Amino acid sequence: MIKLFSRAVIGLSLLCSACAGPTPNNLSRLDLIQKRGELNCGVSGKIPGFSFLQSDGSYEGLDIDICKAMAAAFIGNSSNVQYRPLTAAERFTALKTGEIDILSRNTTHNLSRDSIGGNGLTFAPVVFHDGQGLMVKKSSGINSLEELRGSNICVGSGTTTEQNLNDAFQERNIAYKPIKYQDLNQVVAGYLQGRCKAMTSDRSQLAAARSGFREPKSHVILEEVLSKEPLAPASAGGDQKLSDAMRWVIYALFAAEEQGINKDNINSKLLLANSDPTMTSMRRFLGIDGELGKKLGLKNEFVVNIIRSTGNYGEIYERHLGKNSSVPIPRGLNNIYKSGGLFIAPPLK
């Protein structure tokens, strides 16, 4: 009986290992997305400015617009996206099991997540450069890590944030007590209820959270930056077609900003390029000449589709994190290289 049972289990597991796997042989996930006509995009759904729920039940934010740009490029319609709200813990499993096609969820690009020996993901270019910081109440008078010796610090568990906090304090040999929460909103609540002297998260998130406080001015973000947090969209590894397409969608967003092509002027630029055969690079970029899109497995006019639906990177940024948005964060590093930022797109040739 037991023998039979164990045989059955082994057989079943062999069968499953044969049938499991994110993509069937040779068929890229990109083909699957195009056949399905819908992009499954993993998002957080809980980060102000990046992805959150509107009162009418739709999602909005920078991460969401990245999904939309991808859908516009892959399928040709930016509204054919299914958003899957995911927690930090389950995001990579969801990618691996194929439940989502791409992950656009404030995910830090680092070695262990990228490598085969780690999570084995493939990252697209960074869409937001962040860094971890600490926020304290102004009245506490604290303005350096040293002064936090022995204090409680609120932190989200299972994230790189928790690790960075630990690394930074251990390096400086400062004792502290981490109070761990499931997600950022709970961290904020814990901090506001006075359960800890400081809260830590990426500086963008601290700023976002602070803008919602009753008295935003009575909280300060410390000067010290504990980490680099380059946030990037990702796909399950080993699918060159999909990861190439993702990479160049992001680059197209940067390149469009660099060339001053935006949602408002895309049609006139297109007309102009159509009538003027000397604008070779513009014609190539907009898909009038050459086969840039086809090489990626997309339509040649994919850039036009992206810009029409979301605008260039600068427009996306302004919409969700700009001066007039509800979560203003200065652009700083998150600008194209010509304006002193870190974003540079290789030539679209």
Partner 1 sequence: MQMNTRSTYIKLIRKNFFSNKLDSLISTVLIIFIVWSLLKITSWMIFVANWSVVSNNLSLFTFGSYPRLEYWRPTLWLIILIFLTLITLFWSKKGILRKYIPIAWIGMIPIGLILIGGGLGLTPIHSRQWGGLTLTLILTILASVISFPLGIVLALGRQSKIDVIHKACRIYIEVMRAVPLIAVLFFGQLLIPLFLPVGLEISRVLRAILSFSLFVAAYIAEDLRGGLQAIPKTQKEAASVLGFSPIQTMQLIVLPQAIRTAIPSLTNQVIGLLQNTSLMAILGLIELLGISRSLLANPNYIGLYMEVYVWLAFLYWAVCTIMALLSRHLEKQLTYGRG
218 binds partner 1 (CB under 8 A): no
- Which listed residue (7, 11, 21, 146) binds partner 1 by CB under 8 A? 21
Dig out the tokens for 176 from the structure.
Answer: 């502290």
- Which listed residue (157, 185, 262, 281) binds partner 1 by CB under 8 A? 185
Region for 83 from its dihedrals, namely left if φ exceeds 0, alpha if ψ lies in -120 to 50, beta otherwise: beta
Candidate ranges 119-127, 178-186, 263-271, 331-339; the one touching partner 1 (CB under 8 A): 178-186
CB 337 within 8 A of CB 343: yes
Q: How far is the CB of 66 from partner 1 (least distance, A)?
A: 17
Dig out the tokens for 314 from the structure.
Answer: 């600068």
Q: Decide whether 21 or 277 has the Cβ nearer to partner 1.
A: 21
Question: How open is the CA angle 117-122-126, to the nearest 5 degrees?
Answer: 125
How many Cα atoms are found within 13 Å in the side-chain-facing hemisphere of 212?
A: 12
- Which listed residue (39, 41, 62, 84) binds partner 1 by CB under 8 A? 84
Q: Decide whether 20 or 342 has the Cβ nearer to partner 1.
A: 20
**Helix (H), strand (E) at residue 84:** strand 81-85
Dig out the tokens for 2 from the structure.
Answer: 């037991």
Q: Decide whether 197 or 320 has the Cβ nearer to partner 1.
A: 320
Q: How many residues sit in the footprint of partner 1 (CB under 8 A)?
A: 49
CB 253 within 8 A of CB 239: no
* Maximum separation of any 2 CA atoms in the chain, in Å: 80
Taking the C-alpha atoms of residue 296 and residue 135, their distance in angstroms, rounded to an integer, is: 44
96 binds partner 1 (CB under 8 A): yes
- Which listed residue (5, 26, 55, 117) binds partner 1 by CB under 8 A? 55
221 binds partner 1 (CB under 8 A): no
CB 285 within 8 A of CB 303: yes
Q: How far is the CB of 231 from partner 1 (least distance, A)?
A: 16
Instruction: Give the interface with partner 1 as residue ranges (CB under 8 A).
Output: 16, 19-24, 44-49, 51-58, 82, 84-87, 90, 93-94, 96-99, 182-185, 188-189, 192, 208-209, 211-214, 325-327
